A = this chain, B = another copy of it.
Amino acid sequence: MSKTKIAIIGAGGLTGKELLGLLAHHKDFEVVHITSNQVHGKSLQEVFPGNPYLPQLNFVKHESEIPQGVTVVLATPNEASMEMAPQLLKKGHKVIDLSGSYRLHDKQKFEKAYKFPHAHFDQMQNVVFGIPELFREKLKNANFVSNPGCYATSGILPIAILGDLRSRIQGPVIIDSKSGVSGAGGRTEEITFAYTNVYENFRAYKVLSHQHEPEIEEYAFVGTQPSEIVFTPHLLPVYRGIISTTYIRFQEGVKEEHILEKLESKVKSEPFLRLYSSPEEIELRKVQGSNFLDMGFRMRGNTLVLVSALDNLVKGAAGQALQNLNLMHGYTETEGLLK
């Protein structure tokens, strides 16, 4: 059977690199077209000399003609994705967008979070949000998928899988997240990401103003009334991985066993969710390089403390994208992500 052909627009970035690495071991997909405005003309081996499994392929410019019928991955900045997605869809390409441009259904919240006007907001009717644990069936028939943010995935899933217990939450849900530099833009020249400013250092950023906060608010409470999300991202002196410590206060009567039951039943049927017997067992080390989201929790009185971990470049970006691509094309969901 012939493989499904993939084009990656903006393949020279960290997510593009990660996705190329995953696809290199995938039996059903074949990358045929990669673009980059920085390194066009160069080969994958030149640009990513560390990964020997990458195919023999050269970067071309964004503008270059995209082969008909291929599935397109947009690993482009927000505004570029916003512009390209509709055109590609019109040409009949299946599209998965890794940017933030097609995640929020509230135009005001979008423009407040992303600070530019959305020129193609009508597309929000057609897009499917790419968290398989929540939208698996829709994803199987989707032509247009918006891949979630790394912090958003880390924040949404532990809440969403609490199911009807979410209706018994009191007050705001607090998500204290810590991310490695690859999730926070660490490839840039910014002095903020100079070794001297990251190593042996730690700090919060975009407190109460991160663009993933409204994304968590929209998708963590699907099917129930939303609680306020209080989200604080921090910058860790590590390269990859996000740990989120989530604090939820429940109404009287919600007990540890109810939480355990919900999480266990959900995790049982999910290939990439893992539940540990204590929050102390959760660490970046266990998820780096994998598509897993690990969780552990403890409860005291009505207060739940849940620690979750994922790799921002895999389950937080390229890995989840591949999970979605598998679903969109009718392949085994775990293909290329799990033995």
The interface of chain A, by Cβ under 8 A from chain B, is 24-25, 49-56, 170-172, 174, 176, 178, 180-182, 186-191, 193-208, 228, 230, 232, 234, 236-241, 243, 245, 247, 249, 274, 278-280, 282-292, 294, 298, 300-301, 303, 305, 307, 337-339
Chain B contacts of A289 at CB under 8 A? Answer: 50-51
Q: Which of A176, A232, A238, A240 is the most central at the interface, judged by chain B CB atoms within 10 Å of its CB?
A: A176
- Tell me whether B181 and A178 are in contact (CB under 8 A): no
- Tell me whether B202 and A280 are in contact (CB under 8 A): no
Besides A194-B194, A199-B239, 20 more A-B contacts (Cβ < 8 Å) are A25-B25, A25-B53, A50-B285, A52-B292, A174-B174, A174-B247, A176-B245, A178-B178, A178-B234, A181-B195, A195-B198, A195-B199, A200-B240, A200-B288, A202-B236, A202-B283, A207-B305, A208-B298, A228-B301, A236-B237
User: Can you list 21 contacts pairing A with B, beta carbon distance less than 8 Å?
Assistant: A52-B290, A52-B292, A53-B339, A54-B339, A170-B171, A172-B249, A176-B176, A178-B234, A186-B194, A189-B189, A198-B199, A200-B240, A202-B283, A203-B243, A203-B284, A228-B303, A230-B300, A232-B245, A234-B243, A236-B237, A237-B237
- Nearest CB in chain B: distance from A75 CB, A: 17
Q: Bound complex: CA of A113 vs CA of B181, how far in Å?
A: 36
Chain B contacts of A280 at CB under 8 A? Answer: 203-207
- Tell me whether A172 and B283 are in contact (CB under 8 A): no
Chain B contacts of A193 at CB under 8 A? Answer: 194-196
Chain B contacts of A202 at CB under 8 A? Answer: 178, 236, 238, 241, 243, 283-284
Partner of A186, one of B186, B187, B196: B196
- Nearest CB in chain B: distance from A35 CB, A: 20
Number of copies: 4
Q: Bound complex: CA of A298 vs CA of B199, how far in Å?
A: 26
User: Given the interface contacts A189-B191, A190-B189, does A204 sit within 8 Å of B282 by beta carbon?
Assistant: yes
- Tell me whether B305 and A196 are in contact (CB under 8 A): no
- Nearest CB in chain B: distance from A195 CB, A: 4
Chain B contacts of A240 at CB under 8 A? Answer: 200
Chain B contacts of A207 at CB under 8 A? Answer: 278-280, 298, 305, 307
Nearest CB to that of A291 among chain B residues?
A: B52
Q: Bound complex: CA of A239 vs CA of B201, how far in Å?
A: 9
Partner of A249, one of B54, B55, B171, B189: B171
- Nearest CB in chain B: distance from A130 CB, A: 19
